[in-house]
């Protein structure tokens, strides 16, 4: 089966399963989504949503977040991994958004990635889900599934992102990255599927018998 044929199957099946996938991180505006994505690094979306529910009651704007201060932010997110650094980053990015961007989350990759704690993946999520700019954020779920499904040979998320953008139509990127995440969490999990068990893996590689070893990002 050619890569293009696998891509067609993937698009078709994921559209059936997740016709309108929601953003997994709870938010009320561009700023709260940005904060949630920064906090989600090495943490589950479920835990982030649990903690930001209380945080956003008191600080859902850069101005209010800055007023909380680093120690104040920490009190709300201390259960998360890397909470000390995340508290500092959230405070500093809030301060920078106020001082440099007039209190508004910037809408370019360059400006977003200039904010503390904001890498390319985080910027891609904001660009795609807030500003509807075609982007393909690649997290560990997408990196793993892209390898299992024969869409990339890349051993890093940067190469995987490039390969996926070359394979799929630009009109599909913003929705497809969410669809792959949901499928990865529900069916093609790190431990529950080894490239031979879930329906997608069996459909794309019906003759695969051995466990597929993914390259870690």
Can you spell out the DSSP letters for the chain? --HHHHHHHHHHHHHHH-SSPPPSS--SSHHHHHHHHHHTTTS-HHHHHHHHHHHHHH--SHHHHHHHHHHHHHHHHTTSTTHHHHHHHHHHHHHHHHHHHTTS---SHHHHTTSTT--HHHHHHHHHHTS--------HHHHHHHHHTTS---SSHHHHHHHHHHHS-GGGHHHHHHHHHHHHHHTS-TTT-SSSSSHHHHHH-TT--SPPPPPP-
Sorted by where each begins, the domain ranges of the chain are: 3-21+136-204, 30-129
Catalytic residue among 66, 86, 121, 194: 121
Q: Is 194 a catalytic residue?
A: no
d(CA 10, CA 38): 29
The pLDDT, as a whole number, for residue 163 is 96
Contact 184, 193 (CB under 8 A): no
Q: Which CATH code is given to the segment(s) 30-129?
A: 1.10.340.30
Active-site hit among 26, 45, 53, 139: 139
pLDDT score, position 141: 83
Q: Block means of pLDDT (10 residues each) for the chain, length 217 residues?
A: 94 97 96 97 93 97 98 96 96 98 97 96 96 94 93 90 96 96 93 92 94 82
Q: Is 139 a catalytic residue?
A: yes
Q: Does domain 3-21+136-204 have CATH number 1.10.1670.10?
A: yes
Q: Which residues contact 61 (CB under 8 A, 6 or more apart)?
A: 29, 31, 103
The pLDDT of residue 54 is 96
């Amino acid at each position: 089966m050619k890569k293009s044929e696998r891509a067609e199957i993937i698009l078709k099946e994921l559209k059936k399963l997740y016709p309108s996938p929601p953003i997994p991180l709870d938010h009320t505006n561009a700023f709260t989504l940005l904060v949630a994505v920064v906090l989600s690094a090495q943490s589950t979306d479920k835990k982030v949503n649990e903690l930001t529910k209380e945080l956003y009651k008191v600080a859902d704007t850069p101005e209010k977040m800055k007023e909380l201060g680093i120690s104040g932010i920490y009190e709300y997110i201390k259960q998360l991994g890397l909470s000390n650094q995340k508290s500092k980053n959230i405070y500093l990015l809030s301060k920078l958004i106020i001082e440099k961007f007039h209190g508004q989350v910037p809408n370019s990759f360059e400006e977003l990635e200039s904010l503390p704690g904001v890498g390319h993946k985080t910027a891609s999520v904001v660009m795609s889900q807030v500003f509807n700019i075609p982007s393909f954020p690649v997290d560990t779920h997408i990196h793993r599934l892209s390898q299992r499904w024969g869409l990339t040979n890349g051993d890093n998320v940067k190469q995987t992102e490039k390969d996926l953008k070359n394979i799929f139509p630009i009109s599909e990127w913003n929705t497809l990255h969410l669809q792959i995440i949901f499928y990865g969490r529900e069916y093609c999990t790190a431990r529950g599927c080894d490239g031979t068990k879930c329906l997608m893996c069996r459909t794309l590689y019906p003759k695969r018998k051995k466990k597929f070893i993914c390259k870690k990002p």
